[in-house]
Each structure stands twice: as structure tokens, then as C-alpha cells.
Structure 1
Amino acid sequence: MSHQKNCSHQWTQHAPFIPNWVRGTPSPKVCPQPIPPVSPNPTFPSNAILQMCTPLQFEKSGPNSVVVTVSIPAESVITLPTKALEIKLIKKNLKITQSHFLNCVPSEPGIPHDTPKLFLEGFVRKDIQYSEAVHQTSTTVSGVMKDFLVDIPISCVIDLGKHLIFPPIYYDQQKEYGFANSITLPSGCLSNNLPEFNLLSRQFYNQSPACQLLFSQINEMDHALDRLPLQGGPLEECTFTTLQEKMIILIQLRLTFPTQINYPDDPCSCHPKKDKCSDLNLLFNKISTILAKLNRIIKGPHVALLLLQNKHFL
């Protein structure tokens, strides 16, 4: 043992040096992070029913676009941050944030048929400028101008009717297939049932139409709900903080689809492969030629000669 202690190649690791000030410093306390509460039930919107709006005007403006004019009623209650003496000016701007087109699903005979719908969402940006009384007498009132900005959300569903045929919907497909393979079972029987699952999936990406806002008009009416007399001010002067407004919003939109849209009663749109329009135009041209020839026969001096010249039309 004494010989092993004197070996030059033997190395012993010493304990690391720790200063006294480190030993005297207490370890920091780590506070546990609060766990956010988990709601047992999901949050549902307060109103899941949207109002249906019938277009005032609906017309085709191009081979793949339509112009829709709709009137949307809206109502809201606004609370001002301070007491207002009088509304001086209200600036308004309409913003469309979302437009979703839902095409009707083709149905079989005897099954009710729905119409395409357009879901609209947006808001009216209102900049309310009002006066606030700061000093009043029995005959005068002095005040300051205040400014308040608020966004009024709007939403509706536009019924596009059944006067136009919009581009069809392409549905995803899944098909399962297998292979004819035989295996030998322990009993000596043959079976074609193998533990396999083969699937072919196809997915079509339908394109939504582009929505463009062409025109907007806002007709509103505001009422103060909590009018109180102005203390120490002139007679009939009142202050308020709560406004109830009613708006009629007139909107004109242009919907542009990626492919052409047609009319249901258009013979060219029902069977485009038969080219019915070309056949009708050719028939009308032949009838016009025959009528012109007959007019010349009736008015011309040489009736017999014209009859011989035009006998192949009769």
C-alpha cells in the first residue's frame, strides 16, 4: 500500500474551492408560475343567428362578375367617456373585413334546393366630436372639445337568389383498394384477405370569389338616453353620456369569380358542348336570306325569272 501511494502516475482530484461569500449567500427562491384556469365549457357567441338581407339590386356586370346592392340595418349603444353637452360632428367610414361565399349544394329531384349565400362582416368606424361644459352661468356655457373613436361591428347574410349559376363545387374523394394475394393458412385453406389498408385521396381546392366594395352610404339617427339638466346653466341645457344610434347602411359590392357564371334559362349555358347558339344563329341567317329573296320576288318585274333562280330555297 505504501508503494502505491508513492506512484508518480497516480492522480487524485481535490474538492473544488468555494469562497465563503458564496457559502453565505442564500439560494434564490423560485416562485411557481400560476396555472391559468381551464374553463369547463367552451365560450359560445351571444348571438349565433345572423340577419338575412335580400339584395335591392343584383345584376351581372361581366362574364364572371356580378354587382350586388344591399341595405343593412344596424343598432348600437355608445357610452362617451365624459359628459357631453352637444354632438358637433360624427365622421364615419365603412370597413369590410370578411366576405365568405357559400355555394348551394346540388340536390336531386324532390329534395329542397337552397340558394347561394354571401356572409359579410365588418365595422363602421365612428369619430365622435362633442363639447364638454367646464363653466356655466345662468345665461352662458363655456366648454372644451372632446374626441371619441369607436368601431361598430356589423354582420349579415346576403341571399344571392337562384337567377345565376355560379361555378360548381369540387368535392374531395377517398377510395380504398386492395391486391389479390393468396396466403396459406395453417389449416391448408387459401385466403385473399390480407391485413392491409390502401387508400387513394384526392383533394380539390375551390377558389373563393374576390369581393370589392364599390359604394357605401350610412344614414343614421342618434338619441341621448340619459339627458340630465346642466346644474347652474341656462334653461333647457342638458348633458348626457349614452347614445343610442340606428343606422341604415347601403352597400354595393362586386363579386368576381375565377370562372364564368351563367343564367339557368340560357340555352348556351346548359349544354355548352352542343353549341346551340351557333345552330340558332345559322338558322336565323337562313331565314333572313329566304325572306330577302321572297321580297325581291314580290317587288321585282320578272317574277318567273326570279322563281327559277330561287327554286332551290323553296
Structure 2
Amino acid sequence: MSKRHHSRKYENKLHSGKQEHEITVDKDTIENCEAAVISETLPICENSPCKSEVTPRPVTVKVPVVLTECGITITIQSSLKLEENVLEIKHIRKNVYLNQCKLIPNSEHGKFNNGILFLEGFIKKNIEYTTKDYNTKSVLRGKLKHATVKVPFKSTTKITFKTPPKFKTNITHDEVELLETSIKVCDICEENIAGENICEKNFKLTEFFNEKVFCELICAEIIESDILENPINKDCKSSIEQTFSNITERVVLLLTIRLLQNQHVEISK
């Protein structure tokens, strides 16, 4: 690394009426630096394969099973109002997120191979646009700005399973009857009889915890049309000088969803 220092003095004289002022300016020191790069070549190390311990078949494993994979078309129309007037939209970057993907199993005409899927999410948009700050006959000057907005959406769709999910139906509760050979709990005056004790009740409750159906967002495709509305200066001489306050968006959102459920799968010989 090398350094060079240059220092110079300049004297300027300013005359204001009868007074004379002398100003001395020191030029900043300029340093010229050379970048240093250090690199190293790493050797390749040898490796040897290892044998994993496996369970001999037949076995039963618990793995995610694909129930279905489907494409869903969602149409969205939204209206955006930015803080400043828009002259031109330069670029819009979009990302799709899902907040909810809930399956409600449905039995249609005694068939258990379909269900209703509830979807909820939003499209995150980063909009780059230009504004108009100064305008002359030959020059149109403005600033390039950006704004980030979230466009929510909701939808439901009917799906058909290739592999149906497995659910065990939960029942409420069963009453368990116990035989009493001598009923003298509530009334000591009762006779020694055998039968149901009306002063004591016993119940049996069984609850099954089913595996949850979860979804994966495989692909998201957005086809949209952005329309500038509500012009600000209607008396402009040229259309390229017009600014707008609102943006209307019409979006066709194409989602590819995969539904899975952990199930027990038998791997035979």
C-alpha cells in the first residue's frame, strides 16, 4: 500500500467596500490505496463410503403421503392509492404467501374421495414508479420511488383425492352401567335389590387424534393488468405529462397446491 500526500495553499482576496479579507484554503490530503487480495488453494480430502444400519423388511413406516396435487385459479381486483401522484410504473416485483390452507373432508353421495379446501393469503408487491416534479417544454423531471403493499385474497375450491386421507371419527361418550347387588346408597329404607344405581353414573370417553393434513405451495404464477386511474391534470398538453392518483389491478393468480398427510405405509418384501 502506498500513500501520497499533497498539500497546497491558495490565497484569495475578496474586496468588499474599503475592507480587504485574505482567505487561506488548505487542500485535503489525498490517499491512493491499493487493494490487497489473499487467496489459498484447498486440497481435496479423500472419503470412504459408510454402510448405514437398516431395518430388514417387511416394515411399517410413517411417511408423508401425497393426497392430491391440483392447480387453482384465483381472480383478484384491487385498488391502490399511493402517497404521491404516479407518472409511470417502472417495475412491480411480486411474491405470494399463504396464511391458511385448511381442508374440510366432505362426503358426497357416500363417496369419501373429495373435500373442500379453504385458502387465504396475500400478494406482496414492491411497486417502482416515477413522479413529476418539474416540467418545461423539453424537460420532464421527477423522482424514482417505490412502495410495498400487501394484496390479500381468499378462496375455496373442491378437490378430489388420489389417495384419501385417513380419519377416525370421534364419538361423544358412552354410559357404563355397573351392577349393584345392594342399593342402599341414596335411601337406607330401600330394600336389598340388585340393578342400576340411580345415584351413581359412569361414563367412558374415547378420543382419536388424527394426523393433520398439510399443504405445500409448489408454484405461483401471476398474470395481471395495472391501470392508472383518476388523472390529476386533465388540461395537460401531452399524454406523457399526465399523472394519476390511483392504480387498479386485475390479477389472475395460478397456484399449484400439494396436500399431504402422515400415514402408516407397509413396505413388504
Q: How does 1:91-240 map to 2 (within 5 A)?
A: 91-105=93-107, 115-161=114-160, 164=162, 166-173=164-171, 174-181=173-180, 182-184=182-184, 185=187, 187-190=189-192, 192-229=196-233, 234-236=237-239, 237-240=241-244
Evaluate the alpha carbon distance shift between residue 183 and residue 172 of structure 1 in structure 2; reply closer, same or farther with a 3 A threshold. Answer: same
Structure number having the greater strand percentage: 2
1:127-150 superposed Cα distances (whole Å, 9 cap, x missing partner): 011111111123421001111110
TM-score, normalising length: structure 1? 0.56
Instruction: State the TM-score, normalizing by the size of structure 2.
Output: 0.64
Match of 2:246 in 1: 242
Q: Which amino acid aligns with 2:92?
A: I
**Letter in structure 2 aligned against 1:170:** K
Structure 2 counterpart SS, 1:170:
coil
Distance 1:70 1:98, change over 3 A: same
Superposition RMSD in Å: 2.7
Taking the aligned partners of 2:147 and 2:234, their CA distance within structure 1 comes to 21
| 4+ residue segments displaced more than 6 Å | none
Deviation at 1:157, TM superposition (A): 1.1
Q: How big is the shift at 1:83?
A: 0.9
More helix by share: 1
- Bigger Rg, structure 1 or 2: 1
**Quick one: distance in 2 between partners of 1:137 and 1:256?**
62
Q: Which amino acid aligns with 1:183?
A: I
Cα distance change, pair 166–114 in 1 and its aligned pair in 2 (3 A): closer
Percent identity of the aligned residues?
A: 24
Change (3 A) 1:89 1:196: same
CA separation of 1:229/1:170 partners in 2, compared to 1, >3 Å: closer, same or farther? same
Name which structure has the greater RCO, CA cutoff 8 Å, separation 6+. Answer: 2
- Check the 8 A contact 2:65/2:262 in 1, yes or no: no
1-structure distance, mates of 2:112, 2:214: 25
Identify if the C-alpha distance between structure 1 residues 106 and 234 changes in structure 2 by more than 3 Å, giving closer, same or farther: closer
Q: Amino acid of the residue matched to residue 258 of structure 1?
A: N
- The answer as to whether partners of 1:123 and 1:154 remain within 8 angstroms in 2 is yes
Q: Which runs of 5+ in 2 are unaligned?
A: 1-63
Cα distance, 1:132–1:64 mapped onto 2, change above 3 Å? closer
Contact 1:94/1:125 (<8 A) preserved = yes
Deviations 1:214-265 (A, max 9, x none): 211100011122112277x65222111211111001111222222389xxxx
Q: Distance in 1 between matches of 2:92 and 2:199?
A: 72
Question: Which residue number corresponds to residue 82 of structure 1?
Answer: 84
Q: Relative to structure 1, is the Cα distance of residues 246 and 195 closer, same or farther in structure 2, using a 3 angstrom cutoff?
A: same
Query: Number of paired residues?
Result: 195
- Alignment deviations for residues 123-180 of structure 1 (CA, whole Å, 9 cap, x no partner): 100001111111112342100111111001111112113x645123212231111321
- Cα pair distance change 1:188/1:67, threshold 3 Å: closer
